[in-house]
Amino acid sequence: MADLIMSEPLIPEPLLQQAASLLRSGRRLAVLTGAGISAESGIPTFRGAAGLWKSFRPGELATPGAFEANPGLVWEWYDWRRSLIKEAKPNAGHESLVKLEQHVPTLTVITQNVDGLHRQAGSASVLEVHGSIWRVQCTKCRGEWEDCRVPIPCPPRCECGGIVRPGVVWFGEALPMDVWHSAEAAVSSCDVMLVVGTSAIVYPAAGLVPLAREMSARVIEVNTKQTAMSHSVDVALTGPAAEILPLLVEQCIHC
Ligand code: BV8
Ligand code: ZN
């Protein structure tokens, strides 16, 4: 009889129990997500091994100056990302947040991602603090609308003749104030915060984690690696979000 090879659990049981009971104690949850939650949907992260920034330098593409200097090049990058995102589907990580939302009084998803996968998965309350890759804005008449064409002309033009830009927040740009204030309010009033798949390098979004701590919320981190925040959270679960979040949510709901 072949020996039954018991694989090591992804997360040691006591740690999973600790995280699940913390999560279960939450009445007002805030979930901060970054590119890592979309990794298992096939969307490259920014700073990982195959990250977006590996092939490009941030200053070359995700800044107003880069767009002004070469709108066509910046749009080619976004057109390529849109072509990936168009084929991507929400993964078990996104879906488990939708399931969790049905079992807690309030759950707000605050995402740095521009891919729209939380909304696509069915999350009811999503704050896209860095905008959406599917929205565009005219640099001349300031009109804003959704344009899901793939491929899209690089750069697209508005009816007014103006050059159209992606509706995302670039480095050096302010976050949309209404969305940002809602994110700060959700974190300031939460009793548990889940931080999933972010390197916690980009501010002001990364500042939401210390804000939660200041407001005495308990913080659980899910990441494949240690991050700048790992030392300051209550529980750090190491592994892929699409595997850990379903385990965590099942444990939280059914135990
Ligand atoms: C601003 C949209 C001021 C575009 C992006 C202090 C305070 C305020 C600002 C600053 C500050 N210090 C520095 C700044 C400036 C700057 C900044 O933070 N720079 C960094 C590089 C130091 N911030 C800004 O410029 C912000 N604006 O401050 O404006 C202002 C105020 C008033 C008036 C005028 C100006 C704007 C920042 C927004 C930039 N836009 N994106 C686009 O997408 O193209 S940022 C970009 O990085 C994405 O949004 C991305 O989400 C974000 C953060 O990265 P992560 O999501 O964390 O992704 P990353 O790859 O880094 O990490 C992935 C993680 O997942 C890793 O930890 C990995 O281990 C993990 N992982 C991988 N696979 C998995 C996984 N985890 C779980 N499961 C897996 N399977
Ligand atoms: Zn226009």
% of the chain beyond a pLDDT of 90: 85
> Mean pLDDT across the stretch 86-108?
97
Instruction: Give the residue whose CA is nearest to atom 31 of ligand 1.
Output: 174
In tens, the pLDDT along 102-119 reads 999 999 999 999 999 999
Return the ligand number nearest the Cα of 223.
Answer: 1
> Mean pLDDT across the stretch 63-91?
94
Instruction: Give the residue whose CA is nearest to atom 9 of ligand 1.
Output: 203
Q: Which residues of 16-53 are buried (b: 16+ CB within 10 A; e: fewer)?
A: bebbbebbeebebbbbbbbbbbbbbbebbbbebeeebe
As residues whose CB is below 5 A from the ion ligand 2, the structure lists: 138, 140-141, 143, 158, 160, 162
Residue 212 makes CB contacts below 8 A (sequence gap 6+) with: 30, 187, 190, 193, 219
pLDDT of residue 156: 98
Residue among 85, 92, 45 nearest 224 (CA): 45
In tens, the pLDDT along 216-228 reads 999 999 999 999 9
Instruction: Give the residue whose CA is nearest to atom 10 of ligand 1.
Output: 203
Residue among 76, 71, 72, 37 nearest 55 (CA): 76
Residue 6 makes CB contacts below 8 A (sequence gap 6+) with: none
pTM: 0.95
pLDDT of residue 215: 96
